[in-house]
């Protein structure tokens, strides 16, 4: 299974872009990169995922390097409600089970 | 739309007592179902997953068991709780053929 490495914590000023990095140097060709976030005492929330190309949705953008060994989640205009732990995950496919392996994530603190 | 429910929301149990946590999903059929545990300050650990009624796969040896008596019901149990069973228990579902898991609100279990 490909493992991911994320900084334990980051700060971001409200209204600024939050750029959260993730290293996944052992990722294999058919593994997707997923991002979830977990606000305190709630269940994780899906944000975005991608394979090779950059992706954008209403929540965030995902930039994946050409060699796929790292990626960056971008929250373009962070708000206080974006304060959460952000998990970068590489999907493990086991038949139809499609398990997700969560690390310890990055704790993003958005401040005024 | 699909919703996932977990109960109870919080639970305090003495060591050696039994446990039953319930998870139900509405608005979908034949989902993959997952149980995760999150210890304080740590990432999520996958405990069990199920691809269908009566089909349970265990990820780690432990004091817990899981059952899926109905298509959209997933139960986590223990005959005798240990102190180390304390944590935040999350249920998740995924529609087969898609990539995203959706998490419930969680149950916070404290074993004293």
Instruction: Give yes or no for B73 touching A (CB within 8 A).
Output: no
For the cut 80, the answer to whether the pLDDT of residue A98 exceeds it is no
CA dist., res. A15 & res. A77, Å (int): 5
The average confidence (pLDDT) of chain A is 90
Q: With bands split at pLDDT 50, 70 and 90, how would you rate the model's confidence at A40?
A: confident
Which residue in chain B is spatially nearest to A102 when comparing CA positions?
B44
Cβ of residue B26 closer than 8 Å to a chain A Cβ = no
Nearest CB among B32, B104, B105 relative to A97 is that of B32
Identify the pLDDT of residue A96. 58
Q: In what order do the strands lie in the sheet with B3-7?
A: B3-7, B19-26, B73-78, B65-70
For residue A101, which residues of chain B lie inside 8 Å, CB to CB?
46
Length of chain B: 112
> pLDDT by residue (tens digit) across B55-75?
999 887 778 999 999 999 999
Task: Tell me the pairing of strands A106-111 and B87-94.
Answer: unpaired
A&B contacts, CB < 8 Å: 55
What's the number of CA atoms in the CB half-sphere (13 Å) around residue B75? 12
**Nearest-CB residue to A97 (from B44, B57, B100):** B57
Which pLDDT belongs to residue A41?
A: 84
**Residue B99 to residue A34, Cβ atoms within 8 A:** yes
Pairing of strands A84-92, A99-100: antiparallel
pLDDT computed for residue A90 by the predictor: 86
pLDDT under 50 in chain B at which residues?
none
C-alpha dist (Å) from residue A18 to A55, B41, B96, B107: 16, 22, 32, 30
Q: Are B1 and B27 in contact (CB under 8 A)?
A: yes
Chain A contact set for B42 (CB, 8 A) = 104
A42-89 confidence digits (pLDDT tens): 899 999 999 898 999 999 999 999 999 999 999 999 999 999 999 999
Q: Is A98 on the interface with B (CB under 8 A)?
A: yes
Looking at beta carbons, which residues of chain B come within 8 Å of A91?
Answer: 99
Could A49 and B100 be called an inter-chain contact, meaning their C-beta atoms sit closer than 8 Å? yes
């Amino acid at each position: 299974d490909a493992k991911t490495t994320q900084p334990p914590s980051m700060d971001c000023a409200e209204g600024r872009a939050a750029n959260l990095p993730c290293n996944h140097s052992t990722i294999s060709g058919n593994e997707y990169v997923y991002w979830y976030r977990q606000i305190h005492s709630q269940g994780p929330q899906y944000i975005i995922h991608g394979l090779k190309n950059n992706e954008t949705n209403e929540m965030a953008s995902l930039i994946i390097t050409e060699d796929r060994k790292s990626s960056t989640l971008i929250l373009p205009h962070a708000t206080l409600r974006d304060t959460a732990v952000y998990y970068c995950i590489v999907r493990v496919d086991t038949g139809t089970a499609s398990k997700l392996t969560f690390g310890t994530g990055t704790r993003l603190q958005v401040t005024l | 739309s699909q919703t996932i429910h977990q109960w109870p929301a919080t639970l305090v149990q003495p060591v050696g007592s039994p446990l039953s946590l319930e998870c139900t999903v509405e608005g979908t059929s034949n989902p993959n179902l997952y149980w995760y545990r999150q210890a304080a300050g740590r990432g999520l650990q996958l405990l069990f997953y199920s691809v269908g009624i009566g089909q349970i796969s265990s990820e780690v040896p432990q004091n817990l068991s899981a059952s899926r008596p109905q298509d959209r019901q997933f139960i986590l149990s223990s005959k005798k709780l240990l102190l180390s069973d304390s944590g935040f228990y999350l249920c998740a579902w995924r529609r087969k053929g898609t990539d995203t898991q959706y998490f419930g609100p969680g149950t916070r279990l404290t074993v004293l």
